Amino acid sequence: MHHTMGVRYWVLGIGDERGTDSGNRIWDMGYGGAVNGFGERIEGEKSFERAAMTTELSLYIEHLEQLRENIRDVLLGLTAEGLNWTPLTEDTNSLFQLAQHSAWNELWWIGTKLADRPFPYPWEGNEDLEGTGEDAADLLFWLDEAAATTNDVLGNLEPAALEEQRRLSSDNGVEQRNMRWIIVHVIEHHAEHIGQMRLMRQLWEATERGIG
């Protein structure tokens, strides 16, 4: 069994090696090279390494899609009042604002910082944390837009590009981060806000039932 970039390979024989990744996809590792998670044959002596890196990208795509689906689930069936409700009058964000922030954040990091595409919305300050909405239509549109951008960018990214550096501004000045860091940061950011959104919905539903 080989462990490469978190991907497990089970080797069954010389010239006829097969393996599965954590998504249970089958890999054929024969004399002609590897077949990756997209069904593409990877030729050459470094086929193991390239297959692992391509699988890494496909896992990022799948994980981000699952996180977006988690956000959609939180929004399901909410009224305008529930979308815009906050437990406190100050210093808290509504479900609408948190979902908008999550979608815009992914679009900005993947589309603008990683792929150098222009950001399609005015975002000079905290516009993503000040919005309101009558329903979840805009939020679902932004999530779909983020999904399309991420799938396009990561789906066409060369595995070796994960090591490429990007200049980022932060409170500590300008930092250098590679593309892998950017993708993982988006995943962590989604996960953090999904927890907040789930708790927010629970609080809203408890308020509706007259609890608390």
Query: Residue 25 has what pLDDT?
Result: 38
Query: Residue 91 has what pLDDT?
Result: 80
Mean pLDDT, 10 residues at a time, the chain of 212 residues: 34 34 38 45 49 79 97 96 91 93 96 95 77 93 98 94 87 84 97 97 90 62
Q: Please, what is the angle between helix 137-155 and helix 95-106, to 10°?
A: 20
Query: Residue 24 has what pLDDT?
Result: 37
Instruction: For residue 19, list its beta bridge partners.
Output: 27
Instruction: For residue 166, list its beta bridge partners.
Output: 177
Query: Residue 51 has what pLDDT?
Result: 53
Q: How far is the C-alpha of 21 from the C-alpha of 164, rounded, in Å?
A: 25
The CATH number of domain 48-208 is 1.20.120.450: yes
Question: At residue 54, what is the residue type?
Answer: T
* DSSP character at residue 30: E
Torsion (CA) 26, 29, 33, 37 in degrees, nearest 10: 20
Q: How far is the C-alpha of 78 from the C-alpha of 144, rounded, in Å?
A: 19
Domain boundaries, the chain: 48-208
